[in-house]
Amino acid sequence: MTYSWRRLANADATGVDTPVGRSSHSLNIIGDRAYIFSGEREPRKPIDARLHIFDLVSQRWAGAVEPLAATAPAPRVGHATATLGDCIYLFGGRGGPEMSPMEAELFSFDTTSDTWTKLQVNGDIPAPRSYHSMTASEHHVYLFGGCLEEGRANDFYRFSPETFTWERLPSNPDLVARGGAGLAYLGDQVIVYGGFNGTELNDIWAFNTKNSTWERIILREQSDAPCPRSVAGFVALPAIGKVVTFMGEKGPSPTGHAGAGRYAKDVWILDIHSNATATWMHIPPADPSQLDAPTPRGWMTDAPWRGESIIMHGG
């Protein structure tokens, strides 16, 4: 098994609807369209709140949705998103003059009408945070961890779009608080991988959505493993029943978020077995000398497309 990257849009493309390069943003795919929101080009300076749309079939930028102050989220970095049905759900991030955590507001973007809504929610609303992680099952949105006003978190929440209700789910004390973790839903499990809590992590945890219990996933003795990392690609591919991780930060910058750390460019497939064990498999590139392959990076965004492809943007 090998992988290959294919460039869909040039980094130097220009035009009124073409987004500038960025990191700490969001990318979501619904149908054959990719939606890119906010982020930063310079450290701690959020880009505007236009939502850029890329047509994955024609491989062209297809417009941008202008924000309406009453209903759209403000510019931000380090927010998290998840898709469910025709909607994108967005929570958290940092912004404003002081780059403080945004209010604990949940927004939805309806791709059938290209409109934002600030949802009126109830229940156990998560505290404001950034660099948390979100994913979705067939009926719910899940949120894990991230960076609070002070310190990091390991709390875990589920949101029901049907009732507009947040529910705090059990945490596991051995699952240390972290930001920049990978989060993916696959086969009735929400899977947590890696992240940063002062050091880069590479542990794997699975939350069973049927019985609301956590298990730490143990690697089989013969399994190799990727180096610890955070803000990496982490995407479930239900068509093959596995999760893919790639790139990410393997060492933080001495200047923190204001500088570049050390980044990976490798690709791994995670196979979780029924007895809470797992195997990693390193995937080599089909063409190691590919000239336009993406460079090592972290803080990018990614999403699955058509079941077996992964789209990546920025970093």
Residue 86 lies in a domain: yes
Tokens 């290209």: give the residue: 114
Beta partners for 215? Answer: 206
pLDDT at res. 257: 57
Distances (CA, A) of 94 to 34, 72, 97, 190: 23, 15, 10, 25
Contact 88, 81 (CB under 8 A): yes
Spatial separation of the C-alpha atoms in residues 271 and 148, rounded to whole Å: 32
Q: Is residue 306 part of a domain?
A: yes
Question: What does the pLDDT read at residue 247?
Answer: 98
Say which residues have a Cβ less than 8 Å from residue 161's Cβ, sequence separation at least 6. Answer: 84, 85, 87, 89, 108, 139, 140, 141
CB contact set of 73 (below 8 Å; sequence gap of 6+):
37, 38, 49, 67, 79, 90, 93, 102, 105, 107, 116, 118
Q: How many CB atoms lie within 10 A of CB 119?
A: 13
Residue 183, pLDDT score: 99
CA distance 224 to 232: 18
CATH number for position 306: 2.120.10.80
* Token pair for 159: 């949101």
Task: Kindly tell me the sign of the dihedral angle through the C-alpha atoms of 89, 94, 100, 101.
Answer: positive
**What is the phi/psi pair of residue 297, to 5°?**
-165, 165
Per-residue pLDDT of the chain (315 residues; tens, 9 = 90+): 999 999 998 755 666 678 999 999 999 999 999 999 999 999 889 999 999 999 999 999 999 999 987 899 999 999 999 999 999 999 999 998 788 889 999 999 999 999 999 999 999 999 999 999 999 999 999 999 999 999 999 999 999 999 999 999 999 999 999 999 999 999 999 999 999 999 999 999 999 999 999 999 999 988 899 999 999 999 999 999 999 999 999 988 766 655 668 999 999 999 999 999 999 999 999 999 998 899 999 999 999 999 889 999 999
- Number of structural domains (the chain) is 1
Alpha carbon separation from 272 to 187, 190, 268 (Å, rounded): 10, 12, 13
Find where tokens 């609301």 sit.
212
Q: Does 37 fall in a domain?
A: yes
Please state, in angstroms and rounded to a whole number, the distance separating the CA atoms of residues 143 and 119: 16
Q: Does a structural domain hold residue 19? A: no
pLDDT for res 9: 83
Domain presence at residue 83? yes
- How many Å apart are CA 152 and CA 26, to the nearest integer? 20
Is 120 within the bounds of a domain? Answer: yes
CB atoms within 10 A of CB 201: 19
Q: In the structure, how many helices (H) and strands (E) does the chain have?
A: 0, 30
Q: What confidence score (pLDDT) does residue 13 get?
A: 63
Residue-range definition of the domain harbouring residue 80: 26-313
Residue 241 domain flag: yes
Predicted confidence (pLDDT) per residue in 116-127, tens digit: 999 999 999 999
Contacts of 232 (CB under 8 A, 6+ apart): 180, 182, 194, 245, 246, 247, 248, 249, 264, 298
The single-letter DSSP state of residue 16 is T
Give a yes or no: residue 8 inside a domain: no
